[in-house]
C-alpha cells in the first residue's frame, strides 16, 4: 500500500474555503498523484463553508473565477484515481459538505453539536451546474428535497440517514484511516479504473455553462446575497 497522504483544511472562520485555501488544496491534490488520500479539517471543524467575506467582495468577474476554482477543487477530488476518505471532525457546511461528498467515503464525528448540510438555498445562492450534479450523484432522489431544498443542517446520525456521510465514529480520524487502509488494499490500477467507470458524467454542457454565466453568477454577486451575508456577520 502506498503511504497515505493527509490534506488538512486549515484557515480562519472554521476553515472556510477561500481562494488561498482552495489553491493550497488543489496543489496538494495534484501532488498526491493517486496515493491513498485522507482529508480532514484543522481544529474542531472540517470546513464551515465558503469564505463569505471574500464572496461579498467579488464582482462578477471575480465570482466567476472563485466558483470555477471551487468546481476545479471538487472535480479533482471526484476524479481522484486513488481512494479518498473524508474525516469530518466537526462542522461540514455548504462548501465543506461538498468537499466531503466528493470523497469515496465519509466518516463523521459523533459530537452532537456538529452540523453537516447544504444550506445554499437558505443563504440565497444557486448551485453551479457541475456542483448540483455532484450532489445529485451522491444524495439519493428520496433525500434531495430534504437536503437541498430544505437546506437543513443535520446532526451526525441524520447526516448518515440522508446520505451526507456513511458512518458516525467517536475516533473519527482513527476510523477514517482504517477505512482508507481497507480501500487501499486493492490494486491501484483496478481501483482507479472501476472508480472512473462508476462515476457518472457530471461535466456541464455548453448550455449549462451559458446558464451559469447568465443566471447563476449574477445571483452570487447580487445585493440580496450581500445583504444576507452582512446580516449574518452582524448577528455574530
The whole-number average pLDDT for the span 91-101 is: 98
- β-pairing, 167-169 vs 116-117, is unpaired
Q: What pLDDT does residue 18 have?
A: 97
Percent above pLDDT 70 for the chain? 99
Q: Which residue has the cell 470523497?
A: 103
Bridge partners (DSSP) of residue 39 are: 7, 86
Is residue 56 one of the residues assigned to a domain? yes
Is residue 182 one of the residues assigned to a domain? yes
Please answer whether residues 24 and 44 qualify as being in contact, where contact means their C-beta atoms are separated by less than 8 angstroms: no
**For residue 203, what pLDDT band results from cuts at 50, 70 and 90?**
confident
Please answer whether residues 67 and 58 qualify as being in contact, where contact means their C-beta atoms are separated by less than 8 angstroms: no
Please answer whether residues 9 and 193 qualify as being in contact, where contact means their C-beta atoms are separated by less than 8 angstroms: no
Position 236 pLDDT exceeds 80: no
CATH code of the domain containing 174? 3.90.226.10
Is residue 216 one of the residues assigned to a domain? no
| pTM: predicted TM-score of the whole model, two decimal places | 0.96
Please answer whether residues 120 and 150 qualify as being in contact, where contact means their C-beta atoms are separated by less than 8 angstroms: no
Q: How many domains does the chain have?
A: 1
Residue 48's nearest CA partner among 135, 123, 141 is 123
Is residue 68 one of the residues assigned to a domain? yes
Residue 81's nearest CA partner among 189, 210, 217 is 189
Is residue 158 one of the residues assigned to a domain? yes
Please answer whether residues 47 and 96 qualify as being in contact, where contact means their C-beta atoms are separated by less than 8 angstroms: yes
Three-class secondary structure assignment of the chain: CCCCEEEEECCHHHHCECHHHHHHHHHHHHHHCCCCEEEEECCCEEECCECHHHHHCCCHHHHHHHHHHHHHHHHHHHCCCCCEEEEECCEEECHHHHHHHCCCEEEEECCCCCCEECCHHHHCCCCCHHHHHHHHHHCCCCCHHHHHHCCCEECHHHHHHCCCCCEEECCHHHHHHHHHHHHCCCCHHHHHHHHHHHCCCCCCCHHHHHHHHHHHHHHHCCHHHHHHHHHHHHHC
The whole-number average pLDDT for the span 27-56 is: 96
Domain limits for position 52: 5-189
Q: What pLDDT does residue 230 have?
A: 82
Question: In this structure, what are the phi and psi dihedrals at residue 204, rounded to the nearest 5 degrees?
Answer: -70, 145
Is residue 32 one of the residues assigned to a domain? yes
Is residue 198 one of the residues assigned to a domain? no
**For residue 227, what pLDDT band results from cuts at 50, 70 and 90?**
confident
The whole-number average pLDDT for the span 142-159 is: 97
The average confidence (pLDDT) of the chain is: 95
Is residue 25 one of the residues assigned to a domain? yes
Position 153 pLDDT exceeds 80: yes
Amino acid at each position: 500500500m502506498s503511504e497515505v497522504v493527509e490534506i488538512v483544511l486549515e484557515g480562519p472562520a472554521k476553515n472556510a474555503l477561500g481562494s488561498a485555501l482552495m489553491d493550497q488544496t488543489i496543489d496538494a491534490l495534484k501532488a498526491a498523484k493517486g496515493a491513498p488520500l485522507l482529508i480532514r479539517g484543522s481544529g474542531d471543524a472540517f470546513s464551515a463553508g465558503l469564505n463569505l467575506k471574500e464572496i461579498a467582495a467579488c464582482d462578477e468577474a471575480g465570482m466567476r473565477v472563485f466558483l470555477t476554482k471551487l468546481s476545479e477543487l471538487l472535480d479533482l477530488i471526484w476524479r481522484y484515481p486513488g481512494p479518498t476518505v473524508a474525516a469530518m471532525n466537526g462542522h461540514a457546511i455548504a462548501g465543506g459538505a461538498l468537499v466531503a461528498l466528493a470523497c469515496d467515503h465519509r466518516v463523521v464525528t459523533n459530537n452532537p453539536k456538529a452540523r453537516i448540510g447544504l444550506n445554499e438555498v437558505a443563504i440565497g445562492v444557486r448551485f453551479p451546474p457541475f456542483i448540483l450534479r455532484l450532489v445529485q450523484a451522491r444524495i439519493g432522489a428520496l433525500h434531495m428535497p430534504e437536503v437541498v431544498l430544505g437546506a437543513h443542517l443535520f446532526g451526525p446520525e441524520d447526516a448518515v440517514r440522508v446520505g451526507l456521510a456513511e458512518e458516525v465514529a467517536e475516533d473519527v480520524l482513527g476510523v477514517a484511516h482504517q477505512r482508507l487502509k481497507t480501500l487501499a488494499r486493492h490494486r491501484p490500477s483496478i481501483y482507479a479504473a472501476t472508480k472512473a467507470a462508476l462515476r457518472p458524467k457530471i461535466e456541464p454542457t455548453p448550455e449549462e455553462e451559458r446558464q451559469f454565466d447568465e443566471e447563476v453568477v449574477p445571483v452570487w454577486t447580487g445585493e440580496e446575497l450581500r445583504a444576507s451575508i452582512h446580516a449574518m456577520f452582524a448577528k455574530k
